[in-house]
Structure 1
Amino acid sequence: MQGQRGVAAWTLVRLVFGLSLALGHGLPKVTGNMASFAEGVARLGFPFPTFFAWCAALSELVGGLLVAVGLFTRPAALVAACTLAVALYRHRVDPFGTMEKALVFLTVFLAVVLAGPGPWSLDAKVRRRL
């Protein structure tokens, strides 16, 4: 990606996917029925399912918001990607249309880990001040 169009495109991807993960997946888990989500985590075989359910929900909510604004972007994207890898594993037996959402989010968040936030991010703004 070169030039302002590439920067704008990458920023748009980061914003849309970050906010979608945070508001569409993390926030409903944090404000919804955590006990039900924790039961699903327990069925995956995780010890301390309530703890790991909260970790997953917060990684989606906080990680998504951080990726969207481009702050602590790579670490936030990596934590969210780990959660998304578990989601992909959870949906491995589902039809592809169900599994696809986790796969797409995982792919984008891994791309953010590899490429970084780009110049239109809070990380870039902080770096320029140092």
Structure 2
Amino acid sequence: MKTSKILKIFYGGFELENKYSNIALLLLRIYAGITMMSVGLDKTPLPEWMTEQVVSIGFPFPVMFAWLACFSEFAFGAMLALGLFTRISSVFIGITMAVASFGFQKVLPFVDMHIAQHYVWTTLLFMVFGGGKYALDTYVRNKVSKGIKGYLLTGFLVLAGLFAYSMYAEFTSQEQLETEESFVIDSVNVAGTFNDWDPGSNSMLPIGDSIYQFDLQADKNQLINFKFTANGSWDYNLGEIDQEETGFPVIGKAIPDENNNTSNIQAYLPDSGMYRIILNLNNFEYSVDEAN
């Protein structure tokens, strides 16, 4: 393959004539890349719920595809921010976000508002225009014609990025493992809109092997938001990821809030009376139903 074709595939792009247009493209690229990197970092080490989402979509080898999705978000997000391999990075990010948006979230293109869909159309812009004038692609593209330095620079940056990611993943995994080994749950509480989000009140009653129950008196047509906490502290709590149902009764799976990445659990209580919240820590399944 000729050098010109290699340059077009890996480093291709347009340099806009207007200086301010190039600056605007630079700012958008940096913002999109850095935020995408943070999304990938939040999933390091690979959380269980990420694998479960891949399973729900129907992909084979869910652990592998879940890891590849997280890696794509971080590694290609970094390359997008740098303007390195911009078009290729945008393709991988766009595919990952399209699967998340249209495959898992099942949103409608151009209709439903969802952050993953925003990234789909943002990366489409960079697939067409590349990184712009102020991108490493432009620097490498100009230097390659004068020698091998551009290739060496590219290889060094890619290897440095992969090394940084692998070291972060290794140390984070070890830190999480040590935390999990030393963490003991002595009590489980429910914190929510009904107790001013106090993590130490409303203790749940143990009714089985790691199964807890809490009865709540509610008014008619009351919408509650809550999370589960351990040992009366927010240091370890369980929430929801993209809760599908907020009606009644509510059945779902709570997710450990490792990096402030979960939302409140919501439940609509149709009648006044006593309601029962049950949490099974063996599989993190919870339910909200009328207390019989």
Answer yes or no: same fold by TM over 0.5: yes
- Aligned ranges for residues 11-22 of structure 1 at < 5 Å? 11-22=26-37
Structure with the largest fraction of helix? 1
The 3-state SS of whatever aligns with 2:44 is: helix
TM-score, scaled to structure 2: 0.41
Residues 77, 89 of structure 2: 8 Å contact kept: yes
Match 1:42 to one of 26, 50, 55:
55
Matches of 1:96 and 1:116 in 2, distance apart?
27
Q: Which residue of 2 aligns with 1:114?
A: 128
Is 2:120 aligned against 1:126? no
Matches of 2:88 and 2:66 in 1, distance apart?
19
Matches of 2:36 and 2:48 in 1, distance apart?
20
Is 2:74 aligned against 1:61? yes
Residues 60, 80 of structure 1: 8 Å contact kept: yes
Instruction: Return the offset for 1:91.
Output: 1.1
Instruction: Return the offset for 1:93.
Output: 5.2
Match 2:97 to one of 84, 103, 122:
84
* Root-mean-square deviation (Å): 1.7
Pick closer, same or farther for the CA change 1:92–1:5 going to 2, 3 Å.
Answer: same
Alignment deviations for residues 76-122 of structure 1 (CA, whole Å, 9 cap, x no partner): 1101110011011111259934xx20111110011111111101011
Task: Name the larger-Rg structure.
Answer: 2
Matches of 1:105 and 1:91 in 2, distance apart?
14
TM-score, scaled to structure 1: 0.90
Structure with the largest fraction of strand? 2
Structure 1 unaligned residues grouped into runs of 5+: none
Residues 67, 76 of structure 1: 8 Å contact kept: yes
Is 2:45 aligned against 1:26? no
Structure number with greater CO (CA < 8 Å, separation at least 6) is 1
Q: Which residue of 1 aligns with 2:118?
A: 104
Structure 2 unaligned residues grouped into runs of 5+: 1-15, 145-292
Alignment deviations for residues 13-39 of structure 1 (CA, whole Å, 9 cap, x no partner): 00001111111x1111123x5222101
Q: Percent identity?
A: 32
